[in-house]
Structure 1
Amino acid sequence: MAALDSAALVAVIGAGAMGAGIAQVAAEAGHRVRLYDNRPGAAADAVRGIDRQLARLVEKGRLSPRTQVAICQRLQPIDSLDALGEARLVIEAIVEDLASKQALLRELEALCGKDCILASNTSSLSIDSLAAGLQQPQRVLGMHFFNPAPRMPLVEVVSGLASDPQLAATLYATAKAWGKQPVQVRSTPGFIVNRVARPFYAESLRLLQEGAADCATLDAVMREAGGFAMGAFELTDLIGHDVNHAVTCSVFEAFYGDPRFQPSLMQKALVDAGHLGRKRGRGFYCYDQASAPPAANELGSQALVQRCVVEGHLGVMQPLLERLRGQGIGVSERAGAGVLRVGDATLALSDGRLACQRAREDGLRNLVLLDLALDYASATRIAISVAADCTPQARDQAVALLRQAGLKVSLLADLPGLLVLRTVVTLANEAADAVLQGVASAGDIDLAMRAGVNYPCGPLAWADRLGVGFTLRVLDNLQRSYGEARYRPSLLLRRTHAEGGCLHA
């Protein structure tokens, strides 16, 4: 299906940050754009704001003055919806309220031509609910941009039960023609990103509540080991706890209280206290000028390691060996169960069990568990936990080995799965369930998480790298440790493992 011709008129309803951003994207793609807001003067102010943003790009040499003028000439603020009769696409970006959006769509259906697509930028409301009661519900789809719309590449094209597949294909092609990376989604709570991303926040919040470490340490581990742009506490402070908590509650309620989406009491306390993050000067962190950013915990060691022994293959940790050899540490190899020994210490990648439990069940003395890293060849930090009977000397030897490999070492309490590992497997689990339920394809889900929230790797592709069987085992161990349905593995994981296949084909 072809994209809308650039000569087609596009209208945007709502001149806030999202609406103005969408209008800018459409105008930059060559469309004439009419921008409406029910607040007097808001649409004109938004156009002037776009002009100022483009002027800054001109100053930086990233846009020509002629292009700036041409884009702004295509933007027309209007003060009446009656001016939308010839629009081929109308995108509403008004307040996230079902009744308000339904009323607007009814009005647009009466005003706009029958070939006009009515799209909603909703981030969480059901497309089926939005279209209910319209005479032509097939015209209604979701076109969910991410903030800021001119810079963020992802657009979720969302179809409800009544949505015309050909119109969905047109929106997909149009978003692509606008320079975006669109994905096709069936209308379910949270669509792709707001559903699949829930564990990213939930697992860090849970570990904080359980005393694993402080916010600064957990955030540093997610950045410097996991490869994420920000940790969960930095990100929720930036988003705003009122917004992030409300989305979590919305998804939780929409899934009838499924424990996988259970909101955090710690985050609710911040919302109740008005500590909403950066916009209020305080959230998990304090943002006044007198407050220095807190430092992550880091273990030191005066020991010097000259050699270590590898027993079996270390799986995704194997690149760590080259780092050790590169630092002049002798590495001997022999058969075994995939552990690394240095002095009296035994190091192993976490498998979702407590360190004390694994030490007892597998007969491993002085056990030190390592967290997952996106890439053990380039990570700058690693989190560890230690079994209760691990001696201080053995722990020090393990820390010395990791530090000599160029890694900062952060100690977490002995909790199952540590941080990056449990976050990645729960993200993959939610993504797998979304594939199983026909919400979107595996490729579109991984693309959405990379392009929409800047994940370093799609969760399904990451699970394939870990091994579907290993991912499944970690989830099983987490579920046994907590005794909760929150960690129940997706049937798609079990089936894919049984078939010997991959999640991201």
Structure 2
Amino acid sequence: MTAIERSRTVAVVGAGTMGQGIAQVALMAGHRVLVHDVNAGLAADAVGIVRDRVERMAAKGRIERAEAADAVGRIGSAATLADLADAALVIEAVVEDTAVKRALFAALEEVVAPDALLATNTSSLSVTELAGGLAHPGRFLGLHFFNPAPLLPLVEVVSGFATDPAAAESAYRTVLGWGKTPVRCADTPGFIVNRIARPFYAEAFAVYEEQGADPATIDAVLRECGGFRMGPFALTDLIGQDVNEAVTRSVWESFHRSPKFTPSLAQRRLVQSGRLGRKSGHGWFPYGPDAQLPQPHTAAPEEAPEKVTVVGDLGPAAELVDLIEEAGVAVTAAGSGGPYIQLPGEGQLVLADGRTSVEFTDVVYFDLSPDYRGATRIALSASADTSERTLAEAVGLFQRLGKQVSVIGDVPGMIVARTVAMLIDLTADAVARGVATAEDVDTAMKLGVNYPLGPSEWQRRLGRDWAYDLLHHLDERCPGGRYAPSLALFKLGYAEDAADAEEAGDGADGQDGDGA
């Protein structure tokens, strides 16, 4: 099925921020656009706001004035739903209430043509449930735009249980023609982004609750070591703690309170106290003209060791070997054992693996980074039993590499590593369940929430067993199911092992005949 022709009308129901943004996107793509709202004044205001935006674009030279004049003449408000009768696509952006949305679409179904598509912009409600009362649910689907819709490229094209594949394909091609980047996904709680993104918040809050580090330090590590655009504490303050916690709780409830999605008690207390973030003047951090944002913990300067021994293959941290040598520290390689960096005082520097320093003699863990060369901060963790000399040498070594160092508590998996492992696990599980392809998940997470890498890209870079092993260690130390690796993650590693064996010509062990 082809995209909706530009000559056809697109209607937007709901004149709030999202409705205005979606209307602007469709308008600039060349459609005639009608905006409807139960409050006629709001619909008229929305049309005026979109027209002003278009005219400002022309004034800034971003579009031709003739194009702006044409666009301004193609948008208008609709006083009643009946005025939307000739719309080829109606996108709803009203309040997130199932009853309200179902009533709206039942009314729309009586108005629009049989070939018109009906779409919801919901971010959290079931597309299947919203279509449940329709006589023709095959033409109903989700088109989840991200705010601000004119600027953010991602659109989740969500197929409900009864959505006709041809309708989903038409919507996909239409959105693609609008200059957006659509991704296909099934109707499951949170769709792609709001499902896969939960660990980004949850693991940071867990480290905080475990007394591993303060919010400013956790945010700094995820930004400056992990490569994420914003830290989860600052981001949830921007989103609104009540909004973010509600989405987390909705996904958790929808998954029958799976421990994988358990909400944070600390965040719940924040919401209960009225500290909702920027909009209330205080969240995890204070805001306002006189507010002083807390600074991350940064270790005092220490002397770097003159030499280290690299034992075994450092795997995801192999880049550090070149950086250490470039910094003037002598490196000796020892092929067997490890992997770790042996410090002169006999202590070991080990990449986070889901275990804790207290389990070993004189071990300092360091966190994961997608780019150790570009990272400006590294997190280290040590136990009370770690010698002062070993910790000082570890701090000094990374400072010699030009990094700021944050020493956090002895939490398994540290900060970036446990977050990335959980993102990989949830992605493997979602892909295995047919929610979306691995490629679409990667696209969604990079465009929708600005992750430095997609979870599947992380998995390929880190190796088939890295996330599984880290989560297995975490699950042993924090039992309850939250960190239990999914069957999909196990199978993913197993399948890659088998593929490597076949490529090497080794064959694969297996059952023959009617093996059980």
Sort the TM-score into its range (normalised by shorter chain): over 0.9
Partners of 1:464 and 1:502 within 8 A in 2: no
Matches within 5 A, 1:180-195: 180-195=180-195
- Judge which range, 213-222 or 308-317, deviates more: 308-317
Choose which of 431, 455, 465 in structure 1 pairs with 2:427: 431
CA distance in 2, matches of 1:343, 1:61: 62
Matches within 5 A, 1:433-452: 433-452=429-448
Choose which of 341, 350, 353 in structure 2 pairs with 1:351: 353
Partners of 1:496 and 1:502 within 8 A in 2: no
Shift of 1:112: 0.4
| Match of residue 88 from structure 1 | 88
Choose which of 411, 415, 418 in structure 2 pairs with 1:419: 415
Closer/same/farther in 2, CA of residues 502 and 33 from structure 1, 3 Å limit = farther
What are the superposed Cα offsets for residues 224-255 of structure 1, whole Å, 9 maximum, x if unpaired?
01100001100000000111011111111111
| Match of residue 492 from structure 1 | 488
Please tell me whether residue 206 in structure 1 is matched to residue 199 in structure 2: no
CA distance in 1, matches of 2:4, 2:139: 15
Matches within 5 A, 1:7-26: 7-26=7-26
Partners of 1:468 and 1:502 within 8 A in 2: no
| Match of residue 341 from structure 2 | 340
CA distance in 2, matches of 1:102, 1:78: 20
CA distance in 1, matches of 2:261, 2:304: 45
Q: Give the gaps of 5 or more residues in structure 2.
A: 500-516
Q: Secondary structure at the match of 2:391?
A: helix
Partners of 2:302 and 2:393 within 8 A in 1: no
- Judge which range, 11-20 or 484-493, deviates more: 484-493
| Match of residue 456 from structure 2 | 460
Shift of 1:59: 4.4
Closer/same/farther in 2, CA of residues 158 and 501 from structure 1, 3 Å limit = farther
Letter in 2 for 1:291: A
| Match of residue 244 from structure 1 | 244
Matches within 5 A, 1:102-501: 102-336=102-336, 337-344=338-345, 345-357=347-359, 359=360, 365-500=361-496
CA distance in 1, matches of 2:278, 2:10: 35
Q: Secondary structure at the match of 1:461?
A: helix
CA distance in 1, matches of 2:58, 2:397: 51
CA distance in 2, matches of 1:153, 1:369: 38
CA distance in 2, matches of 1:309, 1:96: 58
CA distance in 2, matches of 1:474, 1:408: 25
CA distance in 1, matches of 2:457, 2:221: 21
Shift of 1:269: 1.1
CA distance in 1, matches of 2:241, 2:149: 21
Letter in 1 for 2:241: H
Q: Secondary structure at the match of 1:447?
A: helix
Partners of 2:383 and 2:409 within 8 A in 1: no
Q: Secondary structure at the match of 1:340?
A: strand
Shift of 1:502: 11
CA distance in 1, matches of 2:116, 2:498: 41
CA distance in 1, matches of 2:282, 2:64: 40
What are the superposed Cα offsets for residues 140-167 of structure 1, whole Å, 9 maximum, x if unpaired?
1001101110011111111111111001
Shift of 1:27: 0.5
CA distance in 2, matches of 1:471, 1:247: 26
Closer/same/farther in 2, CA of residues 236 and 501 from structure 1, 3 Å limit = farther
Letter in 1 for 2:482: R
CA distance in 1, matches of 2:210, 2:383: 17
Shift of 1:61: 3.4
| Match of residue 57 from structure 1 | 57
* Percent of residue pairs identical: 46
CA distance in 2, matches of 1:156, 1:146: 9
Partners of 1:353 and 1:477 within 8 A in 2: yes
- Judge which range, 438-447 or 61-70, deviates more: 61-70
- Judge which range, 41-50 or 179-188, deviates more: 41-50
CA distance in 2, matches of 1:330, 1:296: 31
| Match of residue 362 from structure 1 | none
Instruction: State the TM-score, normalized to the length of structure 1.
Output: 0.96
Partners of 1:10 and 1:33 within 8 A in 2: yes
CA distance in 2, matches of 1:135, 1:59: 47
CA distance in 1, matches of 2:364, 2:141: 51
Letter in 1 for 2:458: W
| Match of residue 511 from structure 2 | none
Letter in 2 for 1:222: L
Shift of 1:374: 1.6
Letter in 2 for 1:339: Y
Partners of 1:11 and 1:90 within 8 A in 2: yes
| Match of residue 69 from structure 2 | 69
CA distance in 1, matches of 2:348, 2:64: 60
CA distance in 2, matches of 1:464, 1:262: 27
Closer/same/farther in 2, CA of residues 262 and 275 from structure 1, 3 Å limit = same
How many residues matched?
Answer: 497
Partners of 2:141 and 2:163 within 8 A in 1: yes
Shift of 1:500: 1.9
Q: Secondary structure at the match of 1:377?
A: coil
Shift of 1:370: 0.6
Shift of 1:56: 3.9
Q: Secondary structure at the match of 1:185?
A: strand
CA distance in 2, matches of 1:425, 1:114: 46
What are the superposed Cα offsets for residues 162-215 of structure 1, whole Å, 9 maximum, x if unpaired?
111001000111111011111111111111111111111100011111111111
Q: Give the gaps of 5 or more residues in structure 1.
A: 360-364
Instruction: State the TM-score, normalized to the length of structure 2.
Output: 0.94
What are the superposed Cα offsets for residues 321-373 of structure 1, whole Å, 9 maximum, x if unpaired?
2222222222221213121122213111011011112x1xxxxx421101111
CA distance in 2, matches of 1:94, 1:113: 22
CA distance in 1, matches of 2:55, 2:400: 49
Shift of 1:68: 2.5
CA distance in 2, matches of 1:501, 1:121: 41
Letter in 1 for 2:395: V
Letter in 1 for 2:277: G
CA distance in 1, matches of 2:374, 2:173: 38
CA distance in 2, matches of 1:302, 1:494: 42
CA distance in 2, matches of 1:175, 1:377: 38
Partners of 1:24 and 1:50 within 8 A in 2: yes
Runs of 4 or more off by more than 4 Å in structure 1? none
Shift of 1:501: 5.7
Partners of 2:428 and 2:492 within 8 A in 1: no
CA distance in 2, matches of 1:464, 1:11: 42
CA distance in 2, matches of 1:293, 1:53: 34
Q: Secondary structure at the match of 1:497?
A: helix
Letter in 2 for 1:489: P
What are the superposed Cα offsets for residues 387-430 of structure 1, whole Å, 9 maximum, x if unpaired?
33211121111110100001111011001000000000101111
Partners of 1:300 and 1:400 within 8 A in 2: no
